[in-house]
């Protein structure tokens, strides 16, 4: 009689962490100051304030908003501050930058919200490949977040890992 098949990976006590589950899925919007500039070049304070006052801010309700100026114009700092005062009561999150910057901020926020206590003295494998490409910054952030509490961190798949950290 042959010996039973033993799944050594399942018995190893490794916890696989897939960073895809931290990718933000909420709806995002971009607020572009370019649309509020005279000739898409000059910010006229009085006109800018009137346009902001007349804007329908409800469209940003519970959305994550990137605030950007896609025109090559000099925008005073107070203009971004003013936009934030209008967005803040409606938007879920506001980030100064393009949509990619917003997604990065939300991704990092999701990683930093992890309850690390569930990983105390555990052996963690950070999944290395999947359906969605994951930016390098996410791997660095998860490592920074987990290193103080875990027994070890590896990268890859449970059957083929690269050691990253081991508590001494």
User: What is the per-residue pLDDT across 34-86, written as a single tens digit (0 to 9) for each?
Assistant: 999 888 788 889 999 999 999 999 999 999 999 999 998 889 999 999 999 99
Q: Same domain for 35 and 71?
A: yes
What does the alpha-carbon distance between residue 61 and residue 59 come to, in Å, rounded to a whole number?
6
Does the pLDDT value for residue 8 go beyond 50? no
Q: Same domain for 86 and 141?
A: no
Q: Same domain for 38 and 80?
A: yes
Q: How many residues does the chain have?
A: 168
The tally of domains found in the chain comes to: 2
* Residue 114 located in a structural domain: yes
Q: In the listed set 65, 91, 117, which residue is the last one of a domain according to the structure?
A: 91
Does the pLDDT value for residue 136 go beyond 70? yes
Residue ranges making up the domain that contains 64: 28-91
* Residue 100 located in a structural domain: no
* Residue 99 located in a structural domain: no
Residues 6+ apart with CB under 8 A from 90: 57, 58, 60, 61, 62, 63
* Residue 2 located in a structural domain: no
């Amino acid at each position: 009689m042959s010996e039973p098949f033993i799944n050594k990976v399942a018995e190893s006590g490794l916890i696989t962490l897939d960073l895809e589950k931290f990718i933000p899925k909420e709806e995002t919007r971009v607020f572009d100051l370019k649309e509020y500039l005279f000739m898409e070049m000059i910010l006229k304070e009085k006109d800018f304030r009137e346009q902001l006052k007349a804007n329908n801010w409800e469209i940003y309700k519970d959305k994550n908003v990137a605030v950007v100026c896609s025109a090559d114009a000099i925008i005073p700092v107070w203009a971004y501050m003013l936009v934030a005062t209008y967005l803040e009561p409606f938007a879920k999150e506001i980030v100064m930058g393009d949509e990619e910057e917003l997604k990065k901020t939300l991704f990092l926020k999701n990683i930093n919200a992890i309850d690390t206590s569930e990983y105390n003295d555990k052996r963690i494998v950070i999944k290395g490949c999947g359906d969605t490409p994951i930016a390098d910054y996410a791997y660095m952030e998860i490592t920074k977040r987990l290193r103080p509490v875990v027994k070890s961190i590896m990268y890859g798949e449970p059957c083929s890992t690269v050691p990253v950290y081991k508590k001494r």
